[in-house]
Amino acid sequence: MIIDDDALSREVVAVLAADSGFCVESHESGDSALCALATCQVCRPDVILADLQMPGLCGEPLARELRAVCDDDTMLLAMSGTSVPSETIRSFNAFVLKPFSMNDLWSALDHARSSSRTLVPKDSTNELLPEILNWQTYVSLAEVMPRAQLQGLYAMCLDDADARVETLRQASLARDIETWTRAAHSIKGGCGMVGAAELARMAAEMEQNGLPAVGNIAPFEAFLAASRRLRRILDAQN
């Protein structure tokens, strides 16, 4: 079971998990997942992978609710685009840092099962790189989905990121740091999952640096230029 409010992240993880042999059930919120489990709409999953930063129920409160309706055989894994202190996710079996590969996920599961619910922080080996596109991620995705689906996935990612730039722009004008941080974090996570390394890195810097100076439009122009650059590279692969 995948629980993530970001549609792109859900799609990428679902595709990779299905290709690895999992039967996948996806939900966009903790409340939706709990409702399905509580009403027996789905079988008790072997693994639940839940994002830590979602609207509504998430994090430790979500983990405790999930554990109440699932037995200890269900592995609870937390995921996030930002590292978190282990004491804040005690009810999870393990943690994976976005972007992650299926090897990272398998490794986290192996450690969790052998550690008897001892939390094992697991950093992704696929670090955000200064390159425009992480080719290893691109090739991995190309191996598990048809070309048309791959094109649609990247188009969805870039369209979503470009749309969120307007959210960032409006948050900057309103001096709304909460909306700014949430939008930047979402861009970072979505772009990171598909290997859009330059965009993920730029979003991470915006999240870390906070609101730009009033009237400073350079971050938005730079991001949109990088998005167009990546689109040209992807078009060249078709």
pLDDT of residue 125: 33
pLDDT of residue 114: 66
How many CA atoms lie less than 13 Å away from 102 in the CB half-sphere?
A: 15
- Has residue 205 got a pLDDT over 90? yes
Q: Percentage of residues in the chain with pLDDT exceeding 90?
A: 38
The mean of the pLDDT values for the chain is 84
pLDDT digits (tens, 9 = 90+) for 108-160: 887 777 654 434 333 333 333 347 888 888 888 888 888 889 999 999 999 99
For the domain that residue 207 is a member of, what is the CATH number? 1.20.120
Tell whether 9 and 89 lie within a shared domain: yes
pLDDT of residue 9: 85
- Count of domains forming the chain: 2
pLDDT digits (tens, 9 = 90+) for 28-39: 999 999 888 877
pLDDT of residue 128: 32
pLDDT of residue 129: 35
- Mean pLDDT lowest among 24-33, 52-61, 69-78: 69-78
Q: Residue 90 carries which DSSP code?
A: T
117 part of a folded domain? yes
106 part of a folded domain? yes
Higher pLDDT, 62 or 86: 62
> Contact at 8 Å (CB) between 37 and 29?
no
pLDDT of residue 118: 39
Residue range(s) defining the domain that contains residue 77 = 2-122
Tell whether 8 and 112 lie within a shared domain: yes
Q: Residue 210 carries which DSSP code?
A: -
- Taking alpha carbons only, the member of 182, 183, 171 closest to residue 211 is 171
Which residue's structure tokens are 């609710």?
Answer: 65
Burial class (CB in 10 A: 0-12, 13-18, 19+), 176: middle
Q: How many helices (H) and strands (E) does the chain have?
A: 9, 6
Tell whether 113 and 144 lie within a shared domain: no
**pTM (2 d.p.):** 0.61
Decide: helix, strand or coil at residue 98: coil
197 part of a folded domain? yes
127 part of a folded domain? no
Section 81-90 average pLDDT = 80
